[in-house]
Amino acid sequence: MGFKRPWVQVPPPRLNFTRMDYKQNSKEKREGARIEKHLIIQFSVDSGASVRKWDVSSIQDISEKGVSFLANGRFLKGAKINMMIRIPLRPFEWFEVAGTIVAVEGPKNSSIDSNLQTSLLRISFLELEEKQKALIHEYISWCLSNLRHNSA
Question: Does residue 130 form part of some domain?
Answer: yes
Mean pLDDT of the chain: 77
Domain coverage including residue 39: 30-151
CATH number of the domain residue 80 falls in = 2.40.10.220
Question: Does residue 24 form part of some domain?
Answer: no
Question: Does residue 14 form part of some domain?
Answer: no
pLDDT digits (tens, 9 = 90+) for 55-105: 999 999 999 999 999 998 888 999 999 999 998 888 888 889 999 999 999
DSSP string, 8-72: ---PPPP---EE---TTSTT----S-EE----EEEEEE--S-SS---EEEEEEEE-SSEEEEEEE
Mean pLDDT, residues 142-150: 78
Half-sphere exposure of 9 (CA within 13 A, CB side): 2
pLDDT at 42: 95
Return d(Cα 118, Cα 58) in angstroms, integer: 13
pLDDT confidence band for 10 (50 / 70 / 90): very low
Residue 7 reports pLDDT greater than 50? no
Question: Does residue 137 form part of some domain?
Answer: yes
Number of domains in the chain: 1
More confident residue, 131 or 29: 131
Question: Does residue 147 form part of some domain?
Answer: yes
- Of 84, 83, 72, 80, whose CA–CA distance to 47 is shortest? 80
Question: Does residue 6 form part of some domain?
Answer: no
pLDDT at 12: 43
Could you tell me which residues are beta bridge partners of residue 126? 98
What is the residue type of 149?
H
Question: Residue 35 is inside which H or E element, if any?
Answer: strand 34-35
Question: Does residue 18 form part of some domain?
Answer: no
pTM: 0.70
